[in-house]
Chains A and B, each alone.
Chain A
Amino acid sequence: MLLSSIAHTLYYVSAGSVFAPLLLCMYKYRTLNRVLRVLFLYLLVCAAVEVGNPMAAKHSMSSYFALQNVFTLVEATLLLVVYLLHATAPREKSILRVLLFTLLLFGLITFATGSRMGANDVLVKPVLSVVMIGLSIYNYFIVLRDLLRGTAHVEAYYFTFLNGSILIYFSTSFLGFVFGRYLETCPKPIFEMIWILNMTANIVYNGLMAVSVWMKKT
């Protein structure tokens, strides 16, 4: 009973937590660089999806899944653009452009063929998660290398929070797909505990994004 109520409360807190970085972006709009402006757009989409989710679910499950699938594609595009704008090395930029193009093409083909747009996405989201986890770890590696060399930029500090949030969020998201079947059959208290962890990760994700926006100086 206690777990149920915590899980229930956390669901609403998690849905509402997207507004923390969003409002902060609005408040600090003048200090936002191109990276954070794209993040702002992404947060606007996230907020719209959070609001649209219950409505779509009430209408039909296929509408709900269609909304989720479109969101996955938009999310992939915007987050990859965030990394693309943050990248400085030309080789890194080229790799990110190829990744972006491939992922979008893969997503479009997956959803467009066989009328899968209204079906539960089992392919694109895990692939996106793996790509984002990889990018995030790579970014940590680059920053750590620069720190050890003493060439890390003070201006890039804000991005590590954003990078960390992406790592946490997509790691938990990826686990959800890997252990999807287990979650369907596991006992309710265990499911609720996992749900609580998942929602906590989501809140941490939004919280870290808010910190990232806050840390950006002019």
Chain B
Amino acid sequence: MDEENIGFYFALSWAVIFVLAVCMLLFHFYYRAYLHKREQQKQIESFAAVVNAEERQKEAIANMIHDEVIHLLAVAAQHVYLNKPESREKTLSLVQQSISSLKSISIDLVPKTLMMFGLIRALAQHTRLINTDNGREIEFINDSIYTTEIPLPKSSEVMAYRICLEILNNLLKHSNFTYLRISATNTDNDLHIDFDHNGKGVTNQEIADMRDKSQGLGLKSLQSRLAILGATMDYSAGAELSSVKLTIPLEISGR
């Protein structure tokens, strides 16, 4: 090859690099458009998840009222209508049963412990309830400086509580653990709630894949709640212990 040809090939090589750079630029535009579309899709899915969760909640409330309260009140009304002296006690008992059913429904909707004593106590109480329900050992340890007052608005606390319940439900359903330790710790700006268990764990990547592929709403509504709260979740799977680490940003005044 003479020098002129080498110069030509050299220029040609640079032209190839230039074309490569242009292709890269186009590729980035394509990727960006894809991400934008995906983001929109995720927003729609999150919105649908929230709407569906609300609808399911309404349906559950309607079912509970229908199954547990309405028929009790209907029978009580019949007794009142008959107005017999011997049915007074029955009527009273039916009304008391209705009150207790309504109480349990209201606890189910928003736990009183959460409203009165905060997230940590509500989680401790919920843990005790699950412990009595099945043979699994669930331990709750509070190493944070908070017991009742957490620097979070009540609505965020309720959301954090729902997230913890969802994590617990998922672990109960899918991980087959026999031991679970829920521990609450805190740093200056965050509250950490760790769920360490000896069951089957998952990684962040696996969760992301499940969320993308799954038609179910559990993981999606969990993601929406995390986004609203600005919280993060970190999954890790180990041979002996696997964990789900929830980090909730606190609202410290003056920050």
How far is the CB of A203 from the nearest CB of chain B, in Å? 13
- Supposing A164-B24, A179-B13, A186-B7 touch, asked if A152 and B232 sit within 8 A by C-beta, the answer is no
Q: A182 to chain B: which residues have CB within 8 Å?
A: 3, 6-7, 10
Query: Which bracket fits the contact residues of B?
Result: 20 to 34
Q: Which of B14-22, B107-115, B186-194 contacts A (4 or more CB under 8 A)?
A: B14-22
- Supposing A168-B17, A168-B20, A178-B13 touch, asked if A154 and B212 sit within 8 A by C-beta, the answer is no
How far is the CB of A4 from the nearest CB of chain B, in Å? 20
Overall SS of chain B's interface: helix
Counting residue pairs across A and B whose Cβ atoms lie within 8 Å, the total is: 57
User: Is A5 at the interface (CB under 8 A from chain B)?
Assistant: no
Whether A171 lies near B20 (C-beta < 8 A) is yes
How far is it, in angstroms, between the C-alpha of A135 and the C-alpha of B36 when the chains are bound?
27
Contact of A164 among B28, B30, B38, B205 (CB under 8 A): B28
Whether A143 lies near B3 (C-beta < 8 A) is no
How far is the CB of B173 from the nearest CB of chain A, in Å? 26
User: Is B208 at the interface (CB under 8 A from chain A)?
Assistant: yes
Whether A179 lies near B10 (C-beta < 8 A) is yes
How far is it, in angstroms, between the C-alpha of A197 and the C-alpha of B21 when the chains are bound?
13
- Which residues of chain A in 155-196 are interfacial with respect to chain B, using CB atoms and an 8 Å cutoff? 155, 157, 160-161, 164, 167-168, 171-172, 175, 178-179, 182, 185-186, 190, 194
How far is it, in angstroms, between the C-alpha of A185 and the C-alpha of B205 when the chains are bound?
54
User: Is B35 at the interface (CB under 8 A from chain A)?
Assistant: yes
**Number of chain A residues whose Cβ lies closer than 8 Å to a Cβ of chain B:** 30
User: Is B179 at the interface (CB under 8 A from chain A)?
Assistant: no
Q: B212 to chain A: which residues have CB within 8 Å?
A: 151
Whether B13 lies near A147 (C-beta < 8 A) is no
User: Is A88 at the interface (CB under 8 A from chain B)?
Assistant: yes
Q: A152 to chain B: which residues have CB within 8 Å?
A: 31, 34
Q: Which residue of A lies closest to B23 (CB)?
A: A140
Contact surface of A with B, Cβ cutoff 8 Å: 88, 140, 143-144, 147, 151-155, 157, 160-161, 164, 167-168, 171-172, 175, 178-179, 182, 185-186, 190, 194, 197, 201, 204, 218
Task: Supply 14 further A-B pairs (C-beta < 8 A) apart from A167-B20, A179-B13, A182-B10.
Answer: A88-B205, A140-B24, A147-B34, A151-B212, A152-B34, A164-B27, A167-B24, A175-B10, A175-B14, A175-B17, A179-B6, A182-B6, A190-B7, A197-B14
Contact surface of B with A, Cβ cutoff 8 Å: 3, 6-7, 9-10, 13-14, 16-17, 20-21, 24, 27-28, 30-31, 34-35, 38-39, 205, 208, 212, 232
Which 10 pairs from chain A and chain B are nearest by CB? Answer: A164-B24, A182-B6, A179-B10, A171-B17, A175-B13, A147-B34, A154-B35, A168-B21, A160-B31, A157-B35
